[in-house]
Copies of this chain bind each other. A is one copy, B any other.
């Protein structure tokens, strides 16, 4: 097999199968390279090491989310939720592969720790995006919303990864709509205004900075 015929995804799939069959520690880079039909040097060009194979998807996803968020969005709170949904959709697309990956990560402490650090990178990305996209937002609201979206996302994703049953995207969407409601930035937060007097109706829980942002975009 010519090397170019084995893209990163094929190496990942071959590696996860070997990790599952014979254990992460017991599997060598040589075995992975051989199973995927690439040379050892190609493997190391594609991945820094064995661990990186397990987290290859996350590197790609984090890059994609960064691009997606940078596009600019009318509602940054919704954009963060859309980003979370796209990660879920990625893993739900091939649940068997995702479950295999999950089982391996669970069994190897060093991978488990790296998973926690990876999750934190999503949380920080969301936090930083919100602070940039919402000038004047209370950092506490950005930090909290980012943490809550990430935690809710992981919980729903874990249901998919642990069980045999299907977990539809709508389960996550419902949970994320609930997060927006807790922050008072749900769909149900707009009001019309007469000529001279503005009547603004908003949930008590909406951050003041978000009230300001919405008032501005309504009134300007």
Contacts and interface: CB of A to CB of B under 8 A. Distances in A.
Interface residues of A, number: 46
B151 A144 contact: yes
A193 interface: yes
Number of copies: 2
Given A113-B113, A196-B203, A200-B199, A155 B175 contact: no
Contacts of A139: 155
A144 B148 contact: yes
Contact of A200 (B143, B146, B192, B200): B200
- Please classify the interface of chain A as helix (H, G, I), strand (E, B), loop, or mixed, using the class held by over half of its residues: helix
A216 B144 CA distance: 19
Nearest to A216: B208
A209 B201 CA distance: 17
Contact of A204 (B120, B155, B192): B192
Interface stretch (A22-30, A45-53, A181-189): A181-189
Nearest to A159: B139
Contacts of A203: 194-198
A215 B208 contact: yes
A167 to B, nearest CB: 12
In this complex, the member of A147, A181, A183 whose beta carbon has the largest number of chain B beta carbons within 10 angstroms is A147
Interface string A196-220: 1111111111001101100110010
Contact of A202 (B155, B192, B197, B209): B197
A146 B140 contact: no
Interface of A: 113, 116-117, 120, 123, 139-140, 143-144, 146-148, 150-152, 154-156, 175, 178-179, 181-184, 192-205, 208-209, 211-212, 215-216, 219
